[in-house]
Structure 1
Amino acid sequence: MSGSTSKRYPAELRERAVRMVAEVRAEHESEWAAMSRVAELLGVGTPETVRKWCRQAQVDAGQRPGVTSEESAELKRLKRENAELKRANAILKSASAFFAAELDRPQR
């Protein structure tokens, strides 16, 4: 759920929606109908949002293949760390070039 137009929903709401879909599934003709009802009850923008939460919960529980939330968070952290290290390397590279040029300059 990235992007400036997406709403951020609290984790408690996402977990509650997933539980509610499981609880009300038998009362509806399809899983999608249950998700639509839960989205409506909880004021979630679209049933598709609830569907994504349910699928991610299944991945996290090992019931469905995919990248778990934990793995996704670790990947995000590593990418951020990698970008920081690249910036630090670029700074050190230009600093060492500057000092090398200073050392090569004849002294008076």
Structure 2
Amino acid sequence: MGSKQRAYDAEFREGAVRIVIETGKPIPEVAEELGVNPGTLRAALAALTGPVDPGWNGAADLHGGAAGVRRRQ
């Protein structure tokens, strides 16, 4: 049986993360709009900005772009 796992190129991942950061929309909302799993988007965000608090669902508390992402402590 074939795998349903998709591979997303770097440009797609960066664009998806940019949407979360610039719009302040929650990760689940952006993920649904793009047709990806929220965990996949959260992982892409973490890969580009560093570890993200697993309870963090959006960018409403971001100030100054990716530098404001809440990090795990």
Q: Does 1:58 align with 2:57?
A: no
Query: For residues 19-64 of structure 1, what are the alpha-carbon distances to aligned partners after superposition, in whole Å with 9 as ceiling and x for unaligned?
Result: 0000222xx5xxxxx11111111111x11110000011013x8x86
Structure with higher Rg: it is 1
Provide the TM-score with structure 2 as the length reference: 0.58
Provide the TM-score with structure 1 as the length reference: 0.41
Bigger share in helix = 1
Aligned to 2:38: 47
CA RMSD, aligned part only? 2.7
Percent identity, please.
43
Could you tell me which of 28, 48, 53 is aligned with 1:36? Answer: 28
Q: Which has the higher contact order (CA 8 A, sep 6+)?
A: 2
- Moved runs in structure 1, 4+ residues, more than 3 A? none
Q: What's the CA shift for 1:10?
A: 1.6
